[in-house]
């Protein structure tokens, strides 16, 4: 028979080095499907306990742990990411006046109604469980200075995308975006237990491509003729990602970058 304690220990050995001990085991033990599955395995007589069989069962077990998709406040030293709502509309409209922000944007962003549509898509996706959207607030002056989100959340595959991100130019290159991405990636990998976090951008947006790679994301390729922009032009989409095995190294590098900003 396969011991439930041995099973949970093996799950911990496989995945827990990426997360906090108590955090990960609490996540495992509170999922009712895990408890049910362990009970069934304990009750199965003379079950062959080969390495291959156990690894397959652990993989199946991990897939039952659905990602926790719900609004959450993420707060650091420089920035506070708070759940996006229509209450943020006036502040976001004010922060979005510089049209350089929207040079490579898919949808038009010139009017209050455009921003309202941007917020509403976030709220609709949140209700559907595929998006977690945030307004970005500077802690130095309390102003709302942009927005960002998790999108295309795939609980079954434990994948998500970070995107739809913009930041008022006056607050760029000050460490705010680095800290925001650190908070988002920490939540994705350590709380939602994502296996892959993706980023995408316009083929001509070299600044965004460089910033994404500076986070530690690796290029995956290009989707040619992928999107028709609102002005009729075509976007060839450049894709990048960070996977869970890479997260400890990426996290350490981001922490070093944040320290450098703190010393400025």
Tokens of 167: 């930041």
pLDDT at 217: 98
Residue of higher predicted confidence among 182 and 264 = 182
CA distance 68 to 161: 15
Domains and CATH numbers, the chain: 4-63 (no CATH), 74-263 (3.40.630.30)
Average pLDDT, the chain: 85
Beta-carbon neighbour count of residue 238 at 10 Å?
22
Cα angle for residues 79, 259, 186 (degrees, 5° grid): 55
Q: Binning pLDDT at 50, 70 and 90, where does residue 261 land?
A: confident
State the first-to-last Cα distance of the chain, in angstroms, to the nearest integer: 59
Per-residue model confidence as pLDDT tens digits over 128-162: 999 999 999 999 999 999 999 999 999 989 999 99
Range name among 32-46, 142-156, 175-189 with the lowest pLDDT average = 32-46
pLDDT reading at 56 higher than 80:
no
Per-residue model confidence as pLDDT tens digits over 191-219: 999 999 999 999 999 999 999 999 999 99
Above pLDDT 70, what percent of the chain?
75
pLDDT at 247: 97
Above pLDDT 90, what percent of the chain?
72
Tell me how far CA of residue 115 lies from CA of 36, 119, 121, in angstroms. 46, 6, 10
pTM for this entry: 0.79
pLDDT (average), residues 101-128: 96
pLDDT reading at 226 higher than 80:
yes
pLDDT reading at 42 higher than 70:
no
Range name among 10-24, 91-105, 226-240 with the lowest pLDDT average = 10-24
Per-residue model confidence as pLDDT tens digits over 57-109: 655 555 556 688 999 999 999 999 999 999 999 999 999 999 999 999 999 99
């Amino acid at each position: 028979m396969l011991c439930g304690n041995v099973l949970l220990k093996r799950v911990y050995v496989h995945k827990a080095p990426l997360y906090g001990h108590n955090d990960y085991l609490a996540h495992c033990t509170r999922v009712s499907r895990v408890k049910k599955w362990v009970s069934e395995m304990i009750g199965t007589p003379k079950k062959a306990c080969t390495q291959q069989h156990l690894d397959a069962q652990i993989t199946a077990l991990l897939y039952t742990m659905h990602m926790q998709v719900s609004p959450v406040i993420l707060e650091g030293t420089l920035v506070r990411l708070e759940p996006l709502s229509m209450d943020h509309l006036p502040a976001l409209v004010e922060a979005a006046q510089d049209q350089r922000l929207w040079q490579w944007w898919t949808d038009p962003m010139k009017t209050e109604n455009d921003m309202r549509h941007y917020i509403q898509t976030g709220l609709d996706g949140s209700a559907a469980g595929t998006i977690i959207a945030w307004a970005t607030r500077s802690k130095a002056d309390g102003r709302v200075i942009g927005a960002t989100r998790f999108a295309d959340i795939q609980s079954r595959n434990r994948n998500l995308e970070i995107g739809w991100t913009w930041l008022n130019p006056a607050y760029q290159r000050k460490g705010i975006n680095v800290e925001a991405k650190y908070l988002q990636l920490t939540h994705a990998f350590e709380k939602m237990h994502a296996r892959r976090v993706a980023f995408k951008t316009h083929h001509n947006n070299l600044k965004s491509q460089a910033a994404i790679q500076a986070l530690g994301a690796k290029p995956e390729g290009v989707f040619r003729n992928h999107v028709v922009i609102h002005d009729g032009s075509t976007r060839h989409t450049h894709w990048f990602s960070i996977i869970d095995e890479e997260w400890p190294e990426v996290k350490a590098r981001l922490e070093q970058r944040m320290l450098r900003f703190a010393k400025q």
